[in-house]
Each structure stands twice: as C-alpha cells, then as structure tokens.
A = this chain, B = another copy of it.
C-alpha cells in the first residue's frame, strides 16, 4: 500500500470521522443513521462500513479519539513562595477552560448520549476520566502540608471545587442552556471559586 493510496483512503476516513463527530453531537448517535452519515461525509455508505465494521465501533472510536485530544495535561506545581490565590486561580482556570472547551463538551455529549442507559459501561469510562483530576488533589495536599490550608477531608474539598467548576462551566453548557463562556466569564468564575475556597480553608 503506497503513500498516495493511503492518502486518499485517509481523506475518506477523515471525512467520515468529521461528519460523524458533528452529526453525533447535533442529532445524537441514535438520531444519525448510517445512510445520513455517509451522505454528510460525501462518501458511500459502503465506504463507511469498510472503515468501521459497525456503528458501535465508529462510536467507540470517536469517543476514544476525542478523549485523547481533549486530555490536556493540567499541571500546576505548588510553590511555597507564591500567593495561594494566584496559584489556585491558575489551576482552577485551567480546569474551567478544559470543562467548557468544545472538545470536552462534544465528547461529553456523545458519551452521555451513548452511555446514558448503560450505567455499568459509563462507570468504567468515568473512572478513567477521574485520573484527570488528580492535579488539584496534589496541589491541595502540598498546600496543606505547608500549613497554608487546613481541612479535614481532602476528597470533600476536591468535590466542592469540582462542583463549583462544573456547575458553572460544564452542566449548563452541556445542555445548551447557557452560551459558551468568554475568557472574561471564565476568569470571573475562577476568581469567585478561589475566593470562596480560600475564605473557607485558608489558615
């Protein structure tokens, strides 16, 4: 198989993925027939099936692919010589931005539409997502060890911060109840969250 052949094939494949990504978000997996999809991708239905043997494979491929591209490493080293609010704002802003990013929302929409009535499967996938959230975890631990924050249950704190982030930058956007956030919005939300957290847990 040569480069050029592969290139044509890859273009078709790309078109399928492109169309599927968009259609699944807009109409849902169930609302998108393979015929419709092929038409949107400007590709014959048979070609779709040559690349993805079943609809389920296509869906799973998309979810995993988008997961990869959505997974931006959020990292913020704890610094004992820098103000807490600045550091935490930096971290929370990254989380807020990630949560309301198109790539993450799109992924969440497809995944939820696909898994909503398959809670066992959903649980597995969510477990993976949780790995993502350990950066905040680590930062809080170090700040506590450094005697600048005090709390009893770190899981509780992470939960609270997570709730504040998602409640303002994820759930409303997921259901298209609220518009996308501007950078100003994100910073405003971030500052309020940090102010709240520090007023409660700062020593």
Which residues does A use to contact B, with CB under 8 Å? Answer: 26-28, 30-31, 112-113, 116-117, 119, 122-123, 126, 156, 159-160, 162-164, 166-168, 171, 175-177, 192-193, 195-197, 199-200
Q: Which residue of B lies closest to A165 (CB)?
A: B163
- Selected contact of A119 from candidates B164, B175, B200, CB within 8 Å: B175
Contacting residues, chain B, for A200 (C-beta < 8 A): 195-196, 199-200
- How many copies, total? 2
> Is the beta-carbon distance between B167 and A159 smaller than 8 angstroms?
yes
Contact B31–A192 (Cβ < 8 Å) = no
Contacts of A122 in B (CB 8 A): 175-177
The residue on B at minimum CB distance from A192 is B156
Looking at A117, A159, A160, A177, the one whose CB has the most chain B CB atoms below 10 A away is: A117
Cross-chain contact A27 with B117 (CB below 8 angstroms): yes
Q: CB < 8 Å: which of B26, B116, B163, B196 contacts A28?
A: B116
How far apart are the CA atoms of A193 and B164 in the complex, in Å? Answer: 11
A160 contacts across to B, CB distance below 8 A: 164, 167-168, 192-193, 196
Instruction: Write out the residue numbers on chain B whose beta carbons fall within 8 Å of the beta carbon of A193.
Output: 160
Given the complex, which residues of B lie within 8 Å of A171, measured CB to CB?
166, 171
